[in-house]
């Protein structure tokens, strides 16, 4: 899951401090726990990583993104990510052991510090377009080698 809080023309992002994506700026989210729905995982991860509470009804699903890393020896980085926007929550965002917190103007998103795919799909989502994307990374596991973005069905 990936959740992107939006408020007053700004987007809340954080820098990943450990694990997969360490050092990259991103939204908040993670993997499902056993028995969770995708939306429940998004709510839980947002609370764990940035300390804000979101109601399921306030999540707006905007994208389904598939990522492949064909040059890795194993497929542990391959994943499907469900992206949600949210503009209503309880609490103030705060840094956690896993993520920092940074507000950015919607027209000044630091794409140069993010995963290479973000600059392709995120602007579309922020315009209100619901998308499905497929992204394949090159030998450096950092740069996109192929991509496809279509409207979400």
pLDDT digits (tens, 9 = 90+) for 18-58: 988 899 999 999 999 999 999 999 999 999 999 999 999 99
Can you give the pTM of this predicted structure? 0.93
Q: What is the pLDDT of residue 19?
A: 85
Cβ atoms of 94 and 51 within 8 Å: the answer is yes
Residue 153 scores a pLDDT above 90:
no
Q: How far apart are CA 83 and CA 13, in angstroms?
A: 13
**Average pLDDT score over the chain:** 95
Helix (H) or strand (E) holding 119: helix 118-126
For the stretch 92-112, pLDDT in tens is 999 999 999 999 999 999 999
Task: Give per-residue pLDDT as tens, 110-141.
Answer: 999 999 999 999 999 999 999 999 999 999 98
Report the distance separating Cα 98 and Cα 47, nearest Å.
12
pLDDT at 83: 98
Percent of the chain with pLDDT over 70: 100
Q: Where are the beta strands (DSSP E) in 8-143?
A: 10-15, 25-26, 60-68, 79-86, 102-105, 131-137
> Mean pLDDT throughout 70-90?
94
Q: Per DSSP, which regions of the chain are E strands?
A: 2-7, 10-15, 25-26, 60-68, 79-86, 102-105, 131-137, 144-151
Secondary structure class of 46 (helix, strand, coil): helix
C-alpha to C-alpha distance for 46 and 2, rounded to whole angstroms: 9
Of 131, 123, 17, 148, the C-alpha closest to 81 is: 131
What whole-number distance in Å separates Cα of residue 118 and Cα of residue 67? 12
pLDDT at 36: 97
Q: Are 131 and 63 in contact (CB under 8 A)?
A: yes
Question: Which is it for strands 10-15 and 60-68: parallel, antiparallel or unpaired?
Answer: unpaired
Contact indicator for 11, 5 with CB cutoff of 8 Å: yes
């Amino acid at each position: 899951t990936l959740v992107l809080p939006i408020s007053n023309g700004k987007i809340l992002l954080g820098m990943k401090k450990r694990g997969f994506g360490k050092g990259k700026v991103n939204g908040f989210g993670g993997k499902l726990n056993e028995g969770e729905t995708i939306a429940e995982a998004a709510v839980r991860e947002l609370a764990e990583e940035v300390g804000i509470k979101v109601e399921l009804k306030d999540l707006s699903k905007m994208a389904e993104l598939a990522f492949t890393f064909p040059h890795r020896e194993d497929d542990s980085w391959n994943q499907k990510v469900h992206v949600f926007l949210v503009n209503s929550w309880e609490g103030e965002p705060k840094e956690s052991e896993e993520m920092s917190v940074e507000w950015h103007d919607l027209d000044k998103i630091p794409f140069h510090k993010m995963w290479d795919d973000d600059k392709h799909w995120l602007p579309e989502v922020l315009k209100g377009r619901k998308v499905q994307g497929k992204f394949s990374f090159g030998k450096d596991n950092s740069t996109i080698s192929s991509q496809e973005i279509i409207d979400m069905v």
